[in-house]
């Protein structure tokens, strides 16, 4: 989701300050609280070293330059993990959340309203809300995970954003299944 923050921030800075005189029916208090940039039907792609690293959409996105604040609704993003990284074993990661809020300068954000992740390997995850601070992703809400050979439930989660570490917390339950016979 921070990819959306970065792209939106760059667009907002490029667009400059909004001209409230162009909208004479807007009160001064409404103009003071209005975002610097408001977009509908946003689609983005992020590239690094000539390859797409993420792409996504947001139905509605507001950006405030002061503080680098971002609000987005109905968001979806696909991450393309770098080959050889911890996340690469999962394949493409599809993330979605009805609501996302972030701060560019702080490298932080929240997603809520039903956060979901699905990997091409078959792994799935869902929780009501997550928080991102620096390189750490956390949740204090119930988390459900499933994938090839496992089903897990916890009442919280702590995870490194690069996928190198993840721990379910507060009353973890689950089952591990033996590998399905591949020889059949």
| pLDDT tens, per residue, the chain with 184 residues | 444 443 444 444 444 444 444 455 556 665 667 899 999 999 988 888 888 988 999 999 999 988 889 999 999 999 998 888 888 999 999 999 999 999 988 889 999 999 999 999 999 999 999 999 989 999 999 999 999 999 999 999 999 988 889 999 999 999 998 765 443 4
3-class state of residue 138 by DSSP: strand
pLDDT of residue 27: 63
pLDDT of residue 179: 61
Q: 38 has which bridge partners?
A: 62
| 28: Cα separation from own chain's centroid | 33
Measured CA to CA, the distance from residue 179 to residue 128 in angstroms comes to: 30
pLDDT of residue 67: 81
C-beta neighbour count of 119 within 10 angstroms:
19
CB 86 within 8 A of CB 164: yes
Does the predicted TM-score (pTM) go above 0.95?
no
The DSSP line for 27-94 is: -HHHHHHS-SEEEEEEEEEEEETTEEEEEEEEEEEEEETGGGEEEEEEEEEEE-PPTTSGGGGG-SEE
Tell me which DSSP letter residue 148 carries.
T
pLDDT of residue 171: 92
CB 44 within 8 A of CB 70: no
Tell me which DSSP letter residue 22 carries.
G
């Amino acid at each position: 989701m921070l990819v959306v923050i970065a792209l939106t921030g760059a667009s907002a800075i490029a667009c400059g300050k909004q001209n409230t005189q162009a909208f004479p029916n807007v009160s001064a208090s409404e103009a003071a609280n209005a975002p610097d940039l408001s977009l509908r039907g946003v689609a983005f792609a992020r590239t690094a070293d000539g390859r797409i690293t993420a792409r996504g959409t947001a139905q509605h996105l507001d950006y405030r330059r002061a503080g680098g604040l971002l609000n987005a609704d109905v968001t979806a993003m696909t991450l393309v993990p770098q080959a050889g990284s911890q996340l690469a074993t999962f394949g493409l990661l599809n993330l979605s959340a009805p609501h996302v809020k972030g701060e560019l300068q702080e490298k932080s954000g929240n997603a809520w309203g039903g956060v979901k992740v699905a990997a091409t390997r078959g792994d799935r995850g869902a929780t009501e809300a997550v928080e991102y601070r620096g390189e750490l992703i956390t949740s204090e809400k119930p988390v459900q995970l499933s994938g090839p050979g496992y089903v897990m439930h916890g009442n919280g989660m702590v995870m490194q954003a690069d996928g190198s570490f993840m721990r379910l917390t507060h009353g973890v339950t689950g089952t591990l299944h033996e590998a399905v016979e591949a020889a059949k």
